[in-house]
């Protein structure tokens, strides 16, 4: 049995004379396949593994599967920082931590460490927390109701309600829980030591908390103008937390994985949205723009009373209150892999909707300037007249990462070329 199997996104490997360890591994692999995360199929003479837009790792029995993004190192780190609005912090010596050798999740955990280190260096947030205690030297307000309930003054202490300003609040407890989660996921040994040091520094004053969606939302809701510096670290903790499990359809059940996966398609879509917001000043950008009333159930022919389907392009660019362009972002190399027909049909629907300029553009990632624009005309099958167009445009992520760091003006010019 193989110990470690490594492959890139959108890659297929065949392992001859290998089989899954047990039924638990088979059930997990089926769930991963059904969710479109990774396809692991047992065949007569081995196992076929096909990755897609998800990167991460999973352990099935004694078999460890690692899926890496094609883009890595400093370019990916720069894009992560830009996409999630992380601050420019340089607290670690690059010679001390070779970012180019970090996995995708180690890059996230590296940034978690950097953000947490900065928070601790500047002083973590202290909050006024209400306490109820019997005190010989009264503080705050005497709890008259409790005093009466106990039959008056029976000892040399008074029940008091008061507020104490300390560090044991939801933000810092979530931060500590996130650092401990990073400890479980990190691969780099030196980074693990640094995370352990931060945890040790915080554990004396801050209580442990179970990391849940509810607690993460509670921490996010407590963000205000005084605690805005916690926003970035909570974003990273949320990504790490959500990557560990799978939510089953129509069920509150959440399956924890022996590993973690992150959908790079979500990352790429968020990146494109940030680029539009920062570099397309002449347009108003609408995310998940709904094409209302394009599909409507015929009256009297909707016995199940289902809601009519509503196509939603990832982005609509608007000028003077009118949609001028519809765009989708897909994390798939459409230069090497080609355009799947379901993507073509989806974009063709957007193009013929009558909204915009009778075109629909699909943006996809590349790591060089070799890929160029491709265009597919949608024609009337009877008259052969052109009725719309689907445009495939590559975005060079290495170039974008470089321009984000060094030349914002050139980045704006590059995005103008993409939009035009």
Domain boundaries, the chain: 4-68, 73-123+177-257, 127-166, 264-419
Sign for the pseudo-dihedral over CA of 112, 118, 123, 126: negative
Pick from 184, 264, 256, 242: nearest CA to 28: 256
- Which CATH fold topology does 264-419 show? Trna Endonuclease; Chain: A, domain 1 (3.40.1350)
Who contacts 2 (Cβ-Cβ below 8 Å, separation ≥6)?
A: 15, 18, 63
Q: Please report the pLDDT score of residue 95 as a whole number.
A: 42
Please give the Cα distance from 122 to 91 (Å, whole number). Answer: 12
Burial class (CB in 10 A: 0-12, 13-18, 19+), 400: buried
pLDDT of residue 224: 86
Per-block average pLDDT, block size 10, for the chain (420 residues)? 79 88 84 89 90 89 86 86 72 51 84 88 76 79 80 78 78 92 88 91 86 90 85 89 68 65 92 91 88 90 92 91 92 92 94 89 93 94 92 95 88 90
User: Strand pairing of 127-135 and 141-142?
Assistant: unpaired
Q: Can you tell me the distance from the alpha carbon of 253 to that of 28, in angstroms, rounded to the nearest whole number?
A: 14
Tokens of 60: 């099935």
Residue 246: per-residue pLDDT: 66
């Amino acid at each position: 049995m193989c110990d470690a199997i490594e492959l890139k996104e959108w890659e297929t490997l065949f392992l001859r004379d290998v089989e899954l360890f047990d039924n638990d591994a088979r059930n997990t692999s089926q769930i991963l396949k059904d969710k479109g995360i990774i396809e692991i199929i047992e065949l007569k003479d081995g196992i076929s593994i096909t990755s897609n837009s998800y990167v991460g790792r999973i352990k099935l029995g004694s078999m460890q599967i690692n899926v890496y993004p094609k883009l890595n190192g400093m370019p990916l780190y720069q894009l992560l920082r830009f996409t999630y609005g992380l601050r420019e912090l340089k607290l670690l010596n690059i010679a001390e931590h070779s970012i180019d050798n970090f996995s995708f999740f180690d890059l996230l955990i590296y940034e978690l460490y950097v953000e947490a280190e900065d928070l601790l260096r500047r002083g973590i947030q202290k909050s006024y927390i209400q306490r109820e205690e019997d005190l010989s030297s009264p503080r705050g307000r005497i709890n008259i109701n409790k005093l009466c309930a106990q039959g008056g003054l029976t000892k040399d202490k008074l029940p008091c309600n008061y507020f104490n300003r300390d560090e044991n609040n939801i933000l810092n407890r979530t931060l500590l829980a996130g650092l401990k989660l990073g400890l479980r996921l990190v691969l780099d040994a030196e980074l693990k030591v640094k995370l352990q040091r931060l945890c040790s520094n915080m554990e004396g004053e801050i209580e442990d908390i179970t990391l849940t969606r509810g607690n993460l939302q509670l921490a996010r809701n407590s963000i205000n103008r005084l605690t805005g510096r916690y926003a970035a670290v909570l974003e990273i903790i949320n990504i790490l937390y959500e990557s560990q499990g799978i939510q089953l359809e129509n069920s509150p059940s959440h399956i924890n994985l022996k590993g973690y996966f992150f959908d790079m398609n979500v990352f790429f879509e968020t990146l494109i949205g940030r680029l539009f917001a920062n570099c397309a000043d002449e347009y108003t950008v609408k995310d998940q723009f709904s094409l209302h009333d394009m599909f409507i159930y015929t009256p009297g022919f909707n016995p199940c009373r289902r809601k009519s389907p509503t196509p939603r392009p990832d982005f609509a660019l608007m000028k003077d209150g009118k949609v001028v362009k519809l765009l989708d972002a897909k994390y798939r190399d459409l230069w090497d892999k080609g355009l799947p027909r379901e993507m073509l049909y989806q974009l063709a629907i957007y193009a013929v909707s009558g909204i915009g300029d009778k075109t629909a553009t699909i943006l996809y990632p590349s790591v060089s300037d070799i890929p160029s624009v491709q265009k597919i005309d949608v024609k009337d099958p009877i008259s052969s007249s052109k009725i719309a167009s689907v445009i495939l445009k590559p975005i060079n992520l290495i170039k974008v990462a470089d321009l984000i760091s060094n030349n914002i003006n050139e980045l704006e010019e590059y995005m103008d070329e993409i939009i035009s």
